[in-house]
Chains A and B, each alone.
Chain A
Amino acid sequence: MHKIIVCLKRVVDYNVRIRVKPDGSGVITEGLKMSINPFDEIALEEALRIREQGAVDEIIAVSIGPDDCQQQLRTALAMGADRAILVQTGTELEPLGAARSLLKIVEREQPELVLLGKQAIDDDCSQTGQMLAALWGRPQATFASKVEIRDQSVRVTREVDAGLEVIEVDLPAVITTDLRLNEPRYVKLPDIMKAKKKPIETLPLESLGADTAVKLRTLRHETPAPRGKGIMVKDVAELIGALRERGLSA
């Protein structure tokens, strides 16, 4: 393979608990720790491992978002991506808009494989990879927990509700990653220094000519209703009593 594209979204770090703005117009993200979406980091790690097997020449990290995404792309370069592309936009895209924009990059770069996370942990949409595959007219292998590169195809083990499903897809293809696929490497200081020399190309979103018009109207944000206050019991007898009171008949 010549190229793998890895799509990285900048999101609020998974350890941070977000809050809804008092007026319900959104969530407060100012000043919060931002990271590469955890699934996307796994996607990048997988690409690096494929390169280490000698199965691909070049890895390109792509992110769509504000200029601040450069931080996450720098991390990706330090992990080992060869170059990066930032598609600049100040507005949050819907998955369809993101997929249409990514398609433009894919058409330009002609990769054999595109790796994305199975979901972004901010919007939790779980759509972009499938949409990109559809628009590209290529196969999709979602929720991957094992990826085996063959000659003209990839064998992917998918985490599905019933267990593990194995499918085979012809290249080029889109794969979205699940958590158990691998454990991403840590970035070392010398790698960060080296990454400074690697190129980040920036393209304004408008220059791609993709239709990114927002289709859904977001009316309001709210905080989920909290669960009522619970009780502590001192032993199992009390526990079973409390359960029976609530209707447990076992």
Chain B
Amino acid sequence: MTRILVIAEHDGQHVQQSTARCLNCAVQIEAAGADVVVFAAADSTAAVEASKLSGVKRVLLVAQKEKAGSLAAVLAPQIVALAADYDCILAPSTTFGRDLLPRVAALLGLAQVTDIMAVIGPRSFKRPIYAGNAIVTVEVPEGQQVIGTVRSASFKPVGNGAEAPIEPVSVSAALPTHTRFIELQSGSSDRPDLQSAKIVLSGGRGLGSADNFKQLYALADRMGAAVGASRAAVDAGFVPNEMQVGQTGKIIAPDFYLAFGISGAIQHLTGIKDAGTIVAINKDAEAPIFEVADIGLVGDLFEAIKEISEQLR
């Protein structure tokens, strides 16, 4: 049996969906499931949420002092202290997991498998390289712990199951003070989360301005969709960085992805390869996005936004 530890990602109160996706990967490695470790403050509901996820054998709750909770330098030594009991340690391949897990791997003197996209066996996995233009199968040799980050877009989130026990544990590890959390600035919105939404409307440089993006927001609200953007749109200051989709933004897998005024650079396409249906709306019939689109419409995006709103009425 493979003993797996999944590192939960949460925002202080709620477990992120990336954790449920990571668990799906864990269950594919070991059907009996995995332990989940939650590093959180005493009043957090994250551990309780984690305990309800299907595939969780038990939740290890490690109490943290308030906000320092998500700093890699602080978490890594605590994970190392727990590592001896496990054959495999997984974290989501989000900015949280990508920051943290290599630090853990290095302290353990181990290699890490980044962006697991498929489980071939308990020690062999597929992962993308060259912005997803090639896929490699890698194997972790026998006798070596598996340390991996899990590509969220490749795994559906597990649902809720029988409630697992929550065990408070204390770890003895020297925690550094050389790294301090100052603040998190986020352009919070009520729209669905980009990484879990079923429909995503995305805007590129073609949108032209922050003001024009409002037309896309209005359509998204009508459709219950999340809104994403290309890097060009973020760089131009139309939208905040957390909306960027692509190799260096978010990798997403909605059922429907509608790209408005996005040309389709490979770095952008990397972020949407696993979308169910890709729709491209672009005035340039030669735009590379049409090569990957399931449905393409050549035309003005503003006209299209208006007409879609009218016809969905």
The docked-state distance in angstroms from the alpha carbon of A162 to that of B304 is: 30
B residues touching A (Cβ–Cβ < 8 Å)? 11, 71-73, 76, 94-96, 98-100, 102-107, 109-115, 124, 128-141, 144, 176, 178-187, 195, 199, 222-225, 231, 234-235, 240-242, 247-248, 250, 255-256, 266-267, 273, 276-279, 290, 292-299, 304, 307-308, 311-312
Q: Closest residue to B277 on the A side, CB-wise?
A: A246
- Give chain A interface residues in 105-146, CB to chain B under 8 Å: 118-119, 121-135, 138-143, 145
**Which residues does chain B contribute within 8 Å of A208, judged by CB atoms?**
none
- Give chain A interface residues in 216-248, CB to chain B under 8 Å: 216-224, 227-228, 230-237, 239-240, 242-243, 246-248
Q: Closest residue to A143 on the B side, CB-wise?
A: B95
Say yes or no: is A203 at the interface (Cβ < 8 Å to chain B): no
**Which residues does chain A contribute within 8 Å of B248, judged by CB atoms?**
118-119, 178-179
> How many positions in chain A have a CB within 8 Å of any CB in the partner chain?
80
The docked-state distance in angstroms from the alpha carbon of A248 to that of B312 is: 11
**Which residues does chain B contribute within 8 Å of A143, judged by CB atoms?**
95, 99
Stretch among A43-51, A54-62, A163-171 lining the B interface: A163-171
A122–B130 contact, CB under 8 A?
Answer: yes
Say yes or no: is A95 at the interface (Cβ < 8 Å to chain B): yes
A161–B96 contact, CB under 8 A?
Answer: yes
Q: Closest residue to A103 on the B side, CB-wise?
A: B106
Say yes or no: is A1 at the interface (Cβ < 8 Å to chain B): no
The docked-state distance in angstroms from the alpha carbon of A113 to that of B61 is: 35
Known A95-B102, A240-B311, A242-B295; judge A216-B266 contact (CB<8 A): no
Say yes or no: is A155 at the interface (Cβ < 8 Å to chain B): yes
Q: Closest residue to A220 on the B side, CB-wise?
A: B137
**Which residues does chain B contribute within 8 Å of A178, judged by CB atoms?**
248
Interface centre among B94, B136, B180, B247 (most CB of A within 10 A): B136
Known A96-B105, A250-B225; judge A130-B182 contact (CB<8 A): no
Other-chain residue from B136, B178, B296, B312 in contact with A218 (beta carbon distance below 8 A)? B136
Other-chain residue from B72, B109, B247, B304 in contact with A140 (beta carbon distance below 8 A)? B72
**Which residues does chain B contribute within 8 Å of A134, judged by CB atoms?**
76, 102-104, 106-107
Other-chain residue from A131, A142, A163, A217 in contact with B98 (beta carbon distance below 8 A)? A142
Known A140-B72, A235-B297, A248-B199; judge A161-B105 contact (CB<8 A): no
Q: Can you sample 15 A-B contacts with CB below 8 Å?
A: A14-B267, A118-B248, A121-B247, A130-B106, A140-B99, A159-B242, A167-B181, A169-B179, A170-B179, A218-B138, A230-B296, A236-B308, A239-B295, A246-B277, A248-B256
**Which residues does chain A contribute within 8 Å of B195, judged by CB atoms?**
161
- Give chain A interface residues in 158-194, CB to chain B under 8 Å: 158-170, 173, 178-180
B102–A167 contact, CB under 8 A?
Answer: no
